[in-house]
Homo-oligomer: A and B are copies of this chain.
Amino acid sequence: MSDLKICIIGSGNVATQMGLALSRKWQIVEVYSRTEASASVLASKLGCTFTTDIKNLTDDADVYICSVKDSVLGDLLPQKNFKGKILLHTAGSLPMSVLANYTDNFGVLYPLQSISKARELDFSKVPLLVEASNEETLSVVKTIANGISNSVYDVTSEERGKVHLAAVFASNFTNHMYDIAGSLLADSNLPFDLLLPIIDETASKVHLMPPSKAQTGPAIRYDRNVIDKHLNMITDERVKRIYELVTEDIHESLKDKK
């Protein structure tokens, strides 16, 4: 299947990075994006044509990979005939069935990663969670997935939803903990970079032991002196509630594991 022709619908973070990875293996024939500015930027990166009208999107492709906001997908796809084609989305939380009205051959190619347009990514290390409406389509989806990544997982829509939820905690919420920490330092004119070694070490440790074993600090010791001192230092009420709630959860979930 080295002659697969692929269309990319969307030009955001995932469309850009997945498009780049795919273009090293297969021909990307066209990009659709709502605005000419973003469509042309991605098309030039991928060496293909672009369109800003989904109705005009080329029929000369085998696989259409749709990577747009979940809310836009339902408006966009009915405007184009995908019958006989393979249609995939890349979303964590959308069931595969949202594509069932447009073609018989549909599926999902979800990259479990925090992807930004500006940051180049080694796609070979990105876990890809795949699913398809039938065996033949699954075989094509797996060929594509294995072509760009070394870790491909066959999961149901329900399992993918759980993984997406877990990733919100492991990535989005973790990143927000970094953000709160940075704001607390900024209040004292201390640089965020001071925290990079402990951020890296905290991530590295869970390669070697489960997070419950890696936990340190006042919450797991339930050191009320330090906890109360910290609560008094936090001026933002929402951040204070986050401190209380996460501390309580560390304490209680440790007790459960004892």
Contact = CB atoms under 8 A, between A and B. Distances in A.
A9 to B, nearest CB: 18
A158 to B, nearest CB: 8
Interface stretch (A35-43, A51-59, A239-247): A239-247
Given A167-B198, A181-B167, A196-B207, A116 B242 contact: no
A225 B125 contact: no
13 contacts: A112-B197, A125-B197, A159-B190, A161-B233, A162-B185, A165-B233, A171-B199, A171-B202, A174-B199, A179-B215, A183-B253, A239-B249, A242-B249
Contacts of A69: 221, 223
Interface residues of A, number: 93
A2 interface: no
A26 interface: no
Interface in A190-223: 190, 192, 194-203, 205-208, 210-212, 214-221, 223
A195 B165 CA distance: 11
A210 to B, nearest CB: 7
Number of copies: 2
Given A71-B223, A168-B219, 7 more contacts: A112-B195, A162-B188, A172-B215, A173-B242, A175-B206, A203-B203, A245-B245
A252 interface: yes
A85 to B, nearest CB: 26
Given A159-B188, A230-B93, A195 B223 contact: no
A211 B176 contact: yes
A54 B165 CA distance: 51
A182 interface: yes
Nearest to A214: B175
Contacts of A162: 184-185, 187-188, 190, 233
Given A221-B69, A242-B246, A153 B194 contact: yes
Contacts of A184: 162, 165-166, 169
B165 A219 contact: no
